[in-house]
Chain A
Amino acid sequence: MMHPIPSGTRDVLPEEMRELRAITGAIQEVFDAAGYGELYTPALEHESVLRRGDPDAAKPAYRLFDENGSVLVLRSDMTIPIARVVATRYEDAEPPLRFAYLAHAYRSVRPQRGEAREQLQAGIELIGAPGAEGTAEALTVLCRSLDAAGLTSYRIGLGDAALYPRLLTEARVPGPAQRRILHELVTRDFVGLARELEGCGGDEELLRIPQLRGGIEILDRAGAAADGLRALHALLEPGVAGRMIFDLGLIRDLGYYTGAIFEVYDDALGVPLGGGGRYDDLLGRFGRSLPAVGWAVEVERLHVALAGRRGPRS
């Protein structure tokens, strides 16, 4: 007999659950050892509150009315709720603050892609640790977590959300053209990027730079705009630095990133396992202005990667 569950959701039976627990247990030991305290926030939030953090409220897929007619959403990530907690419950606490979570986030799915509506995320937020030092710590905890989970062949794509806009500004590309150019980059269309750059007289180098991926040497092409990434690289211990693939065209689609951004790749999976970055303006929108950095890894994708096969998107 078939009693369906919504597409993009699944039941997890004890055998798989034991495997997932082994992964999350190993990661939580890393969080504990690094001084990150676990935090839980409600799955349901007021949409109006999430909108303070991001005009799109981090793109919630599920809205509902409570008994008073208020609009609630199922959280689509943990970063904005934690920013809310910091501003309300840690108003006077001395930074830096270190939080970790193991929680579900809810996303819309595109039909027939095998995407998950409900994703178990493991992640951290490091609040009040500015610049390269903070980002280096977050990347170190990320690598330790993936190592502890048993992943061996992963790489981390590392870019800077502010780098390419800065190069465009230095090249005196006007604002409206910048927005069109960045749209092509966000949608990963280098043919469109070439067309838009040609339209505003942008030079060949502006087309080449966002296509550079590789070691630290590629930063030379971007000049002073890459100083932030250079400083970050200098702080990474060799085992962490060796995982990095610098990517000068990396842009993530969430609107709150301000500096370094990163994504986790493994050749067993055609999609990133997770990612994160700096969001130095987000907490200020909730009334406690502190620089911050964080990341999340999707536990079920990590599980697929550990199984070492190209599996379905999850």
Chain B
Amino acid sequence: MNAPLTIAVPRGALMAGTLDLLDAIGVDTAEVRSNDRKLLFDDAGIVTMRPSDVPTYVEAGAADLGITGKDVLREQSEREVVELVDLGFGPCKMIFATEAGDPDPAREALRRLGVMRIATKYPKIATRHFARTGRMAEIVEVHGSVELAPLTGLVEGIVDLTATGTTLRENGLVIREELFDASARLIANPVSYRLKSAAIDRLLERVRAAGHPA
């Protein structure tokens, strides 16, 4: 089948790496780069959106392929999408951090109260992590600047994604645990994966040839 593929491209931190990759495999991204407001680029088969919306569009088949972080895929693990390739760019770590100092305030809360409060943009990942490691945690979902939450006394710790750790350090937080490594992944709709297998496999070959691990 020669039906053109629609690709969901994440805005934000992964966008530059994604557009570089698309250029390297022969998808023209000039229009996307030059127009910051437009969302739908029919000629190139590109739609742009928040990284956390990429699995939604791909699962429903509104896009055949998408690029988003492993952090998003872990948080939305119930999405029925095919995870094809680790693209390698956008490396990050999912971490558990608390305010610097001894004793660790989260550990202290557990000792005294039996439960710690944790702020995160990733409530499912955080819930699973503390359930698996046998600690009671009350998860507080926030949508931005997670580092603020322990500094204001809202919570004792955070679960968040960090690339360099700079923001954590500047806010007096230290990493207590690393949960997993995340990077950009190429995902596919399960029906497109079968009906457009030839086009998707050709694109995968070009991705591998462009130097990304398979």
Contacts and interface: CB of A to CB of B under 8 A. Distances in A.
Interface of A: 110, 155, 157, 187-192, 194, 213-214, 245, 247, 263, 265-267, 269-272, 310, 312-313
Contact of A270 (B185, B189, B198): B189
B203 to A, nearest CB: 13
Given A191-B83, A270-B189, A313 B60 contact: yes
B1 to A, nearest CB: 8
B27 interface: no
Q: How large is the interface on B (under 10, 10 to 19, 20 to 34, 35 or more residues)?
A: 20 to 34
Given A190-B83, A191-B85, A191-B185, A310 B194 contact: no
B62 A155 contact: no
Contact of B191 (A189, A214, A269, A312): A269
Given A310-B61, A310-B62, A271 B83 contact: no
B132 to A, nearest CB: 16
Interface string B183-206: 001000111111101100000000
Interface stretch (B15-23, B74-82, B147-155): B74-82
Nearest to A263: B194
B3 interface: yes
Contact of B194 (A110, A191, A245, A312): A245
Contact of B84 (A190, A263, A272, A310): A190
A270 B62 contact: yes
Contacts of B189: 270
B86 interface: yes
Closest 8 CB pairs of A and B: A270-B61, A213-B197, A188-B82, A189-B83, A191-B86, A265-B191, A270-B60, A157-B194
Contact of A190 (B3, B78, B85): B85
A267 B195 contact: yes
Given A188-B83, A190-B85, A267-B3, A213 B78 contact: no
A215 B145 CA distance: 51
B126 to A, nearest CB: 19
Nearest to B214: A194
